[in-house]
Structure 1
Amino acid sequence: MQPPGIVQPPGTTQPSGPDLNAQPLRFLSAYWTVWQGLGSRLHQVLQAEHDLDLRTFIVLSHLQQTPVTPSQLAAVLDLPRYEVARVLRRLEERGALTRTLLPGDARRHALQATASGADLWRAALHTAERSAAPTVTALGPDLDALTAALERLTTLTHPEATP
């Protein structure tokens, strides 16, 4: 069917639209829809209950391990360094992280969560798990395989970001 106001020349056929079931469009559409729904829900609940956005929660998650530099965080999370700096500033203002000068380089800092940052992260993790549970548990035994496939894609698309 022709959209209103567009005249089809005589003797021509209307081109068909994209096959939404063909790969990779099928994968990209599904990935986008899941990310928008799940990401939006997680963002809203983390903001409401902990005053954290999803990006800040993910950064704080990475600060729970061994000390990491801002540039390492930027690489692992595939974020611009200025965006990582903004997130770190907000976490620092909340007392959730410490910066320690790296020996031999007064310009570089190692970052680590403080005790209050670890408490904030544990509470936010519980909230995120509770919020995501209905979606991820619906996958049942496919959850591990899907997670492994997404991790494999991460190594293919961002080899420098793998920890």
Structure 2
Amino acid sequence: MASDRSGTRVDSASAPNIVRPALDDVDRTLLRALAADARMPNNALAQRAGVAPSTCLGRVRALRERGVIRGYHADVDPAALGRPIQAMISVRLQSHARGHIPDFMARIAELPEVLNVFFLGGADDFYVHIAATSTENLRDFVVINLSGNADVALTETNLIFDHIRAGLGHPAH
């Protein structure tokens, strides 16, 4: 499950069990355009996809109802909010703490520094993406909220120097 500050929650555990109708070329065009600019007016979106505005509106509504479009949010620079230091922290839980995964995720996601929580398969259980006010704030976050938690076996903190949004966020060329 991933969480973000916009309130979007992605239940990765159940997502593979969801059967969704296949996306066609129009759906993919709409999704690419919205991923690049979620504020694109419907008439411009319809023109980009080559459909009537009423068709476009219906398609986007159906994509939201099917859970393909999970939400809309502003991509705000954490530094503008006084949190210029970003880090990705890998977290491994104690083996006895596996039953606490949902509680751990919910508790961590509520902390003000946390931007995203990713539940993983592999050696680490989570990546926690945070934005801190200072190196001291980063240290305190790790020491108090992670290392100080009896369920946590190991953490590794990696500073983020820069971030480039990739994937669907870029229009097709």
**TM-score > 0.5 by shorter chain:** no
Name the structure where strand makes up a greater proportion of residues. Answer: 2
Name the structure where helix makes up a greater proportion of residues. Answer: 1
In the superposition, the TM-score normalised over structure 2's length comes to 0.24
* Largest Rg, 1 or 2: 1
In the superposition, the TM-score normalised over structure 1's length comes to 0.25
| Greater relative contact order (Cα < 8 A, sep 6+) | 2
